[in-house]
Chain A
Amino acid sequence: MNKKQRKSEFNKYTTKDKAILYAGYVILGLFIAAIVVPVIYIILASFIDPVTLQNSGLTFDFSKWTITAYERVMGNDQIWTGFRNALIYSVLFTLISVIVTLLAAYPMSRADFKGRGFFNAIFVITMFFGGGLIPTYLLISRMHMLDTIWAILLPGAFSVWNMIIARTYYMGIPRDLQEAAEVDGATEMVYFFQILLPVCTPIIATIAMWQFVGMWNSYFDAMIYLNSASKQPLQLVLRSILIQNQPEPGMVSDMQSTAERAQLAELLKYATIIISSLPLMIMYPFFQKYFDSGIMAGAVKG
């Protein structure tokens, strides 16, 4: 549709429609601004000399720009330890969670699975009633998982919500496909791994993305269950920098005055936020290719 056609399409709208459309654009614009402006501010601020930033705010005088904050953040061991831990936790958690969710969703998607209603009820109950923090802590403690990686990986690995989404996706796959596989000689396992999962890549990618991002951004479980500093994920390190305004001592110890320390601490916040967000930003385009809505094209008559 060229510009002229678009204009003539637009002219078909009534004044009321146009007003609603414009109002929609304005509201959406505000939403976008509310997301984009802070991101841009943080990116720019992380590069600006802390004194300049505090005195005159953002500037495009590049002589006032610096990468000090990044140098200090990258040079800090605790950040790197947190980074490594977060990566390990996120990858393993995603792997375990996706496997458990996909396997649980399969029988729940089958109408011929006896006891489906019972298991469904069991699953759904957990969506409304949780164990609570203290009982969960006691459970983790009794299972000797405190201060171990398992305390982070196992309790949240199975998400009923994700299972329901995966189950619904499975149910949307034409039954003919399974019957064709059965006639071809496929067992239930062969069908699941060789036919069903490959056509479910969009939902697998979505669940994997949610779980990865969820784990990458989480700090609460780590705060409760992990005591050793060497096991803390990045978000916990970041939290102490952001919330408690306590940058790692090594990052600011060389500064002479308290004022300088405070200014640098502010700058470090921004740099840390950017560094911790980078992996997710880099990861997204790689996942995007799996969000292919046309994966089932050609399988059955549409």
Chain B
Amino acid sequence: MATVQLRNIMKVYPFVSGEQKKGKKKKTDEPEKKSNLQITDEGVVAVQAFDLDIADKEFIVLVGPSGCGKSTTLRMVAGLEEISGGELYIDGQLMNDKAPKDRDIAMVFQNYALYPHMSVYDNMAFSLKLRKVPKDEIDVKVREAAAILDITQYLERKPKALSGGQRQRVAIGRAIVRNPKVMLMDEPLSNLDAKLRNEMRAEILKLRQRIDTTFMYVTHDQTEAMTLGDRIVIMKDGYIQQIGTPQEVFNHPANLFVAGFIGMPVMNFFDAELKKDGNKYFVEVGGYRVELAPEKEKRLLANNVSSQPITLGVRPEHTDVGDSGVSAKVDVAEMMGSSVHLHVNANGKDVIIIVPTIDMESNYKFGDTVHFSFSGKVAHVFSKETSKNLEY
């Protein structure tokens, strides 16, 4: 149990000799590409300007696509990667130069990383033995953790005699026996099949209630992020894109990337025009005019937003099929059980609409014409220039 503060954390991987030449060549040939690749004279920048305060016992999830720097950030907190710049505090103490063993953290790896020659019991007891904890105490702690994770019956087995799910439980058990200040998890469920992943997700939620410590959890799966996290940190290209509760990032995405990354199916985006008429704001898209909700208008007014071309975002679940609205042709109708994901084409633009099956009056077929609309409450307006949400 501890607070964690990351202050302007940066990670730069220095060039090895061959890469440096390559990097320099790129610098002269394609200067404009340099910043996109996050290449500086020092090396490749994996994480930068990372500022985050994690409260005691908070469950923070770092989420983002591959290569966004989320695992690197976690590994810097663990002490497995050197911190190139900035400061890391755990429980108020500067940890930049402390070895992993002196940080009082535990980590669950994506690949389990179990010691293959040791039994499950010994795997879990290893860290306690190194800390010279009395044998009786080790036994109590290991058995307690095993009971929590329901692996008591496997304590004498070697990891190779366990299934993937059981191995991941052992890996979690190895982390929790120590009762660490901070529990770090690096995509712990990504090697499991879909069913087991769902089960383990629920297990982690239960575990969280029982062990009551600070969690930092890395995943590329937004469902895991939304269901597990008290707050989510969305990352891209080494930068934080948004920090917020699952509801905040879903309902108020800070930019186009977050809007597209969070939510499944992804948000629909349209080229549109934002019109300001006095204190009123409207969006015009494909001849369809939508008046924005008063709270949105208030925020746009506060930001002094003027009429401009925008990218309009509307989530598939917030789009309604009806008799009026934008006309579109059905391409594909995916039956998902409780809903149908309707892929339609509106003036050459692919749009996804979620239609609850309870509301479905007929089966949709390829080529059917439908009309869809959305309310001004659920429309998100993004700047064409900066990709930022104009409301914030």
Contacting A184 at CB < 8 Å: which of B80, B130, B161?
A: B130
- Central interface residue in A181, A184, A297, A300, by most chain B CB within 10 Å: A184
Question: B245: CB under 8 A from chain A?
Answer: no
Whether the Cβ atoms of A182 and B99 lie closer than 8 Å is yes
A interface residues, how many (CB within 8 angstroms):
24
Whether the Cβ atoms of B100 and A190 lie closer than 8 Å is no
Whether the Cβ atoms of A301 and B110 lie closer than 8 Å is yes
Whether the Cβ atoms of A301 and B164 lie closer than 8 Å is yes
Question: A180: CB under 8 A from chain B?
Answer: yes
Question: A176: CB under 8 A from chain B?
Answer: yes
For A183, what are the chain B residues with a Cβ–Cβ distance below 8 Å?
Answer: 78-80, 100-101, 105-107, 127
Question: A260: CB under 8 A from chain B?
Answer: no
Docked pose: A185 CA to B158 CA in angstroms: 21
Question: B126: CB under 8 A from chain A?
Answer: yes
Question: B160: CB under 8 A from chain A?
Answer: yes
For residue B130, which residue of chain A has the nearest CB?
A185
Question: A29: CB under 8 A from chain B?
Answer: no
Docked pose: A184 CA to B107 CA in angstroms: 9
Whether the Cβ atoms of B160 and A294 lie closer than 8 Å is yes
Docked pose: A179 CA to B109 CA in angstroms: 9
- Central interface residue in A174, A179, A180, by most chain B CB within 10 Å: A180
Whether the Cβ atoms of B111 and A176 lie closer than 8 Å is yes
B81-106 vs A, Cβ < 8 Å mask (1 yes, 0 no): 00000000000000000011100011
For A301, what are the chain B residues with a Cβ–Cβ distance below 8 Å?
Answer: 110-112, 164, 191
A44-87 vs B, Cβ < 8 Å mask (1 yes, 0 no): 00000000000000000000000000000000000000000000
Whether the Cβ atoms of A298 and B167 lie closer than 8 Å is yes
Whether the Cβ atoms of A300 and B111 lie closer than 8 Å is yes
B interface residues, how many (CB within 8 angstroms):
31
For residue B175, which residue of chain A has the nearest CB?
A183
Question: B174: CB under 8 A from chain A?
Answer: yes
Whether the Cβ atoms of A299 and B116 lie closer than 8 Å is yes
Question: A21: CB under 8 A from chain B?
Answer: no
For B210, what are the chain A residues with a Cβ–Cβ distance below 8 Å?
Answer: none
Question: A195: CB under 8 A from chain B?
Answer: yes
Question: A20: CB under 8 A from chain B?
Answer: no
Whether the Cβ atoms of A198 and B113 lie closer than 8 Å is no
Question: B195: CB under 8 A from chain A?
Answer: no
For A174, what are the chain B residues with a Cβ–Cβ distance below 8 Å?
Answer: 111, 113
For residue B105, which residue of chain A has the nearest CB?
A183
Question: A296: CB under 8 A from chain B?
Answer: yes
Q: Given that A180-B109, A186-B130 are contacting pairs, would A295 and B116 also be in contact in the complex, using a CB cutoff of 8 Å?
A: yes
For residue A184, which residue of chain B has the nearest CB?
B127
Docked pose: A185 CA to B78 CA in angstroms: 12
Question: A125: CB under 8 A from chain B?
Answer: no
Docked pose: A101 CA to B114 CA in angstroms: 26
For B22, what are the chain A residues with a Cβ–Cβ distance below 8 Å?
Answer: none
Docked pose: A14 CA to B110 CA in angstroms: 47
For A177, what are the chain B residues with a Cβ–Cβ distance below 8 Å?
Answer: 113, 115
Q: Given that A298-B161, A301-B110 are contacting pairs, would A199 and B80 also be in contact in the complex, using a CB cutoff of 8 Å?
A: no
Q: Given that A184-B126, A185-B127, A185-B131 are contacting pairs, would A298 and B111 also be in contact in the complex, using a CB cutoff of 8 Å?
A: no
Docked pose: A182 CA to B127 CA in angstroms: 10
For residue B171, which residue of chain A has the nearest CB?
A180
For residue B110, which residue of chain A has the nearest CB?
A301
Question: B162: CB under 8 A from chain A?
Answer: yes
Docked pose: A195 CA to B117 CA in angstroms: 8
Whether the Cβ atoms of B101 and A186 lie closer than 8 Å is yes
Docked pose: A58 CA to B282 CA in angstroms: 108
Docked pose: A179 CA to B115 CA in angstroms: 11
CB under 8 Å from chain B, chain A span 177-222: 177, 179-187, 190, 195, 198-199
Docked pose: A139 CA to B109 CA in angstroms: 52
For B69, what are the chain A residues with a Cβ–Cβ distance below 8 Å?
Answer: none
Whether the Cβ atoms of B114 and A299 lie closer than 8 Å is yes
For A199, what are the chain B residues with a Cβ–Cβ distance below 8 Å?
Answer: 115-117
For A182, what are the chain B residues with a Cβ–Cβ distance below 8 Å?
Answer: 79-80, 99-101
For residue A297, which residue of chain B has the nearest CB?
B160
A278-302 vs B, Cβ < 8 Å mask (1 yes, 0 no): 0000000000000000111111110
For residue A197, which residue of chain B has the nearest CB?
B117
Contacting A296 at CB < 8 Å: which of B100, B109, B116, B161?
A: B116
Whether the Cβ atoms of A176 and B160 lie closer than 8 Å is no
For B162, what are the chain A residues with a Cβ–Cβ distance below 8 Å?
Answer: 298
Docked pose: A183 CA to B114 CA in angstroms: 12
Q: How far is the CB of A172 from chain B (nearest CB, A)?
A: 13
Whether the Cβ atoms of B101 and A185 lie closer than 8 Å is yes
Q: Given that A179-B80, A186-B130 are contacting pairs, would A298 and B100 also be in contact in the complex, using a CB cutoff of 8 Å?
A: no
Question: B316: CB under 8 A from chain A?
Answer: no
Docked pose: A182 CA to B167 CA in angstroms: 19
Q: How far is the CB of B181 from chain A (nearest CB, A)?
A: 13
For A294, what are the chain B residues with a Cβ–Cβ distance below 8 Å?
Answer: 160
For residue B184, which residue of chain A has the nearest CB?
A183
For residue A176, which residue of chain B has the nearest CB?
B113
Q: How far is the CB of B15 from chain A (nearest CB, A)?
A: 14
Docked pose: A182 CA to B79 CA in angstroms: 9
For B99, what are the chain A residues with a Cβ–Cβ distance below 8 Å?
Answer: 182
Docked pose: A184 CA to B158 CA in angstroms: 19
For A179, what are the chain B residues with a Cβ–Cβ distance below 8 Å?
Answer: 78, 80, 100, 107, 109, 113
Docked pose: A135 CA to B114 CA in angstroms: 50
For residue A198, which residue of chain B has the nearest CB?
B117
Docked pose: A67 CA to B14 CA in angstroms: 73
Q: How far is the CB of B156 from chain A (nearest CB, A)?
A: 14
Docked pose: A176 CA to B109 CA in angstroms: 7
For B106, what are the chain A residues with a Cβ–Cβ distance below 8 Å?
Answer: 183
A-B pairs, top 6 by smallest CB distance, nearest first, are: A298-B159, A298-B160, A297-B160, A300-B111, A184-B127, A176-B113
A-B contacts, 20 of them at CB < 8 A, read A177-B115, A179-B80, A179-B107, A179-B109, A181-B126, A182-B100, A182-B101, A183-B127, A184-B101, A186-B130, A198-B117, A294-B160, A297-B116, A298-B116, A298-B162, A299-B113, A300-B112, A301-B110, A301-B111, A301-B191
Could you tell me which B residues sit within 8 Å of A by CB distance? Answer: 78-80, 99-101, 105-107, 109-117, 126-127, 130-131, 158-162, 164, 167, 174, 191
A-B contact sample (9 more), CB < 8 A, given A179-B109, A300-B112: A176-B113, A180-B114, A183-B106, A183-B107, A184-B174, A185-B130, A299-B112, A299-B113, A299-B159
